[in-house]
């Protein structure tokens, strides 16, 4: 927050606070007063930890303002929406891989006779309930992927349309759809991997 910032989220600005300050000649200078005091231990993606940072305990941290003052939350949501979309795509990838694995197994695994009374065991993909599970996995994965592609298209139009009104409209649609892509696709991946194990 800058000293004259308005109250609430409207007064948050975005700063880059480096670990080391940079000298005028481009060399690394003194250690900045910014420190990581803990990393949260959580399940999930290990290479992307959430950390607690401490600024200014030993004289004050120095940072550079990014963009305009008091628009930090707006800028942060650009990064957050990109991350949400990427996580949604990861959910789709997990779902699709679960389907691929289940499909390959169902084609190889021999178990029981088919409904026509085959003389011996058949690949389980021939059993109606297994077909139902595989088609459920495939249909839900393709629907989630289609939603993600439509969302990506709105982002493209929001950034590249020659019409300002179209850019604003498509950006609003993108911001509405991104949390749905993230939430739906990741929850779906849990259900579909479970179905794949079944």
- Tokens representing 129 are 């309930």
Digit-coded pLDDT (tens) for 64-100? 999 999 999 999 999 999 999 999 999 999 999 999 9
| 175: exposed, middle or buried (Cβ count in 10 Å: 0-12, 13-18, 19+) | middle
The reported pTM is 0.80
Mean pLDDT throughout 32-59?
85
**pLDDT score of 41 more than 90:** no
d(CA 106, CA 104): 6
Digit-coded pLDDT (tens) for 101-133? 999 999 999 999 999 999 999 999 999 999 999
**pLDDT score of 45 more than 70:** no
The architecture in CATH of the region 72-197 reads: Up-down Bundle (1.20)
Ordered by start, the domain boundaries in the chain are: 18-62, 72-197
Which of 46-60, 100-114, 132-146 is predicted least confidently?
46-60
């Amino acid at each position: 927050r800058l000293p004259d910032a308005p109250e609430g989220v409207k007064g948050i600005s975005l700063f880059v606070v480096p670990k080391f300050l940079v000298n005028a000649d481009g060399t690394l200078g003194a250690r900045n007063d910014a420190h990581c005091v803990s990393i949260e231990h959580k399940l999930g993606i290990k290479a992307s930890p959430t950390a607690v940072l401490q600024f200014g305990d030993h004289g004050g941290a120095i940072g550079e303002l990014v963009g305009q003052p008091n628009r930090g939350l707006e800028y942060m949501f650009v990064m957050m929406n990109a991350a949400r979309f990427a996580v949604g795509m990861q959910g789709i990838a997990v779902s699709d891989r679960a389907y691929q694995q289940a499909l390959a197994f169902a084609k190889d695994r021999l178990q029981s006779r088919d409904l026509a009374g085959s003389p011996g065991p058949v690949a389980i993909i021939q059993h109606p309930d297994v077909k139902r599970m595989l088609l459920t996995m495939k249909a839900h994965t393709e629907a989630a992927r289609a939603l993600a592609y439509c969302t990506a298209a709105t982002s493209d139009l929001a950034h590249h349309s020659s019409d300002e009104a179209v850019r604003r409209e498509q950006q609003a649609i993108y911001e509405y759809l991104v949390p749905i892509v993230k939430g739906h696709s990741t929850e779906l991946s849990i259900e579909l991997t479970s179905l794949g194990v079944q």
